[in-house]
């Protein structure tokens, strides 16, 4: 079952943050992941306007997400992200029935 990573970050040092984004694509790919979005414009339909960066990744499974996150190369890249931004990262597995979802869920 696929797993999705939603990463929302407020960047306060773009130059340092670029050192993170320069390193992440091959690490994501190594673990079977792919970027569905990577910082494109976000439109807020309800609630407070969202003005920070949003990235959505898809991995084949939760185990792939965990392996990516634990990868030493990603841990090294995160040093730049931690130094340049504040992030909230969420992971959610995809549902099995997306064609006709249970209305009670």
Residue 100 forms part of a structural domain: no
- Establish if 37 belongs to a structural domain: yes
Q: Which of 89, 82, 85, 80 is nearest to 11 (CA)?
A: 85
Domain-located, residue 101 = no
Sequential pLDDT tens for the chain (105 residues): 999 999 999 999 999 999 999 999 999 999 999 999 999 999 999 999 999 999 999 999 999 999 999 999 999 999 999 999 999 999 999 877 667 777 776
N- to C-terminal Cα separation, the chain: 18
User: Which pTM does this prediction carry?
Assistant: 0.88
pLDDT for the residue 100: 74
Specify if 105 maps to a domain: no
What number of residues does the chain have?
105
Determine, yes or no, domain membership for 98: no
Encoded tokens for 93 = 């597995």
CATH number of the structural domain spanning residue 64: 3.30.70.100
> How far apart are alpha carbons 40 and 91 in whole angstroms?
19
Q: Which residues contact 105 (CB under 8 A, 6 or more apart)?
A: none
Count how many domains the chain has: 1
Name the burial class of residue 40, with classes exposed (0-12), middle (13-18) and buried (19+) by CB atoms within 10 angstroms of its CB.
Answer: exposed
Q: 84 in a domain, yes or no? A: yes
Decide if 60 is inside a domain.
Answer: yes
Tell whether 104 is covered by a domain. Answer: no
* Structural domain span for residue 16: 3-42+49-93
The Cβ of residue 15 has, within 10 Å, a number of other Cβ atoms equal to: 8
> What is the model's pLDDT at position 74?
98
């Amino acid at each position: 079952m696929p797993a999705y990573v939603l990463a929302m970050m407020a960047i306060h040092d773009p130059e340092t943050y670029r050192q993170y984004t320069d390193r992440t694509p091959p690490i994501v790919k190594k673990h079977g992941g792919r970027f569905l979005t990577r910082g494109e414009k976000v439109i807020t339909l309800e609630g407070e306007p969202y003005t920070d960066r949003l990235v959505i990744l898809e991995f084949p499974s939760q185990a792939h997400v965990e392996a990516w996150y634990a990868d030493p190369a990603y841990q090294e890249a995160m040093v730049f992200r931690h130094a340049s931004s504040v992030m909230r990262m969420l992971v959610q597995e995809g549902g099995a029935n997306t064609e006709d979802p249970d209305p009670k869920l």
